[in-house]
Homo-oligomer: A and B are copies of this chain.
Amino acid sequence: MVKSDPSTDKGEQTRRHIYATALTLFRERGFDNVTMQAVAEQAKVAKSAAYYYFPSKEAIIQAYYEAVQNEQDRVCEEHFAESSDFKKRVASAMHTKFDLTKDDRKLLGVVFRYTGEPAHPLSCLGKGTEAIRRRSIAIFERAIETERMPKDLQELLPLALWSLQMGLLIMFLYDESPNQQRTRKLADGTLDLSWKLYALTKLPVLRPVRAKITSLLRAAQFLPAV
């Protein structure tokens, strides 16, 4: 968030207007086929006005992604109120993201553009996106909080589920099957499998495996140090 937050209400209006106009155009013609000039013209502002609110063209997509995250938070909060079954909650969290983005897969793809460039402010795994990433993970924390489980799993699961979601999201983008059912089914299947494994967690044979996993991830700094 560099300087793209308007300080006054007027600014907020303009920002929203530019954002909405841009999204409409992106949806109609595709991100790369829409010029900032075109966005500005359609929104009846100068091109530099658009850049006053969004540091780059991709930043508009970032704003879109944040909007999606807001929606997911909202929708999941509702679902969570309805069910305390953590498996259902997790599944609904997972599917909600798909539901919300299914018509915007082209746009969503742009979010991944700087995945390999840690220093880029829009890198989806970088510092600049840490806040939204946390929120994304937090949904899974909330989803499983109805289930009593050992501390290590409680720490591990949200991260694991979030990673799964990221992976599936990419598959989702490539999935040409009608309604992306292939991805949906893989999501369901993987969760199903996870719960089976979760049930086996207490099994003596798997104890050392589980311990090893957490210690590995701790060493890799994916989990907080003990």
Contact = CB atoms under 8 A, between A and B. Distances in A.
A10 interface: no
**Range of interface residues on A (Cβ < 8 Å):** 35 or more
A38 interface: no
Nearest to A182: B220
Interface string A209-226: 100110011011100000
A208 B197 CA distance: 11
Interface in A170-222: 170-171, 173-174, 182-183, 185-186, 189-190, 192-193, 196-197, 200, 203, 205, 208-209, 212-213, 216-217, 219-221
Interface in A6-50: none
A18 to B, nearest CB: 23
A173 B209 contact: no
B212 A189 contact: yes
Nearest to A112: B116
A117 interface: yes
Interface string A101-143: 0000010111111111110000001100000000000000000
A9 B13 CA distance: 61
A108 to B, nearest CB: 7
Looking at A116, A170, A205, A219, the one whose CB has the most chain B CB atoms below 10 A away is A116
